Amino acid sequence: MTTRPKLILGSTSRYRRELLERLRLPFDVVSPQVDETPLDGETPAALAMRLAAAKAAAVAALHPQAVVIGSDQVAELDGTPIGKPGTHERAVAQLRAMRGRSVVFHTAVAVQHAASGYSGAALAPVNVRFRDLADAEIEHYLRTEQPYDCAGSAKCETLGIALLAAIESDDPTALVGLPLIRTCALLREAGIDPLQP
């Protein structure tokens, strides 16, 4: 019987940590220290993939015996990336721009195990249709939820679901920030099967 390698989540996101806890695997959390500045001409999907891989690689370089998960999410409206608003005013502007529209949330996950040379990554796009929101609805939501640390200013796992007309995805946790179906597949390839004790 081989010993399961240590698992590390290379992320400071509490949402990703909470999602990974669903797999009931022991894991540590390490901040990846990665510059998240987009490259010139980089598409939102490519940005998400690059950052997920960079986060996994940064932590794997420090912990080569561990299996490391990196993840990133970039929202896209009309080809333009939408980041975390940070402030109430920016969140208002984001939700006004998205009302009545479809936004693609590109959620990428990368898994690396430096000791074995394993490196894998996957993208889980989520198409989200926002309702045609009134200004008063936007204001009430933001004052209630304060989702200023979420791409696109909305948290679908709580009151933010009321902002939406539809969510289309084949990996249901991708919108929250970590696509667990794809994560499980990559972990199995790296030698960690969540269903094996």
What structural domains and CATH numbers belong to the chain?
7-190 (3.90.950.10)
Q: Is 72 a catalytic residue?
A: yes
CA atoms of 85 and 37, how far apart (whole Å): 15
Contact status, residue 123 vs residue 93, Cβ threshold 8 Å: no
- Angle, CA of 8, 11 and 15, to the nearest 5°: 110
Contact status, residue 98 vs residue 130, Cβ threshold 8 Å: yes
Greatest alpha-carbon pair distance for the chain in Å reads: 60
Catalytic: which of 28, 35, 40, 72?
72
Summarize pLDDT for 133-145 with one digit per residue, the tens: 999 999 999 999 9
Contact status, residue 192 vs residue 115, Cβ threshold 8 Å: no
Helices 135-145 and 88-98, axial angle in degrees (round to 10): 140
Is 0.95 surpassed by the pTM of this model?
Answer: no
Instruction: Give the per-residue pLDDT at 3.
Output: 81
Sign of CA dihedral 168, 111, 84, 41: negative
Shortest CA distance to 31 belongs to which of 49, 18, 16, 42?
16
Kindly give the parts of the chain with pLDDT less than 70: 1-2
Summarize pLDDT for 75-119 with one digit per residue, the tens: 999 988 988 899 999 999 999 999 999 999 999 999 999 999 999
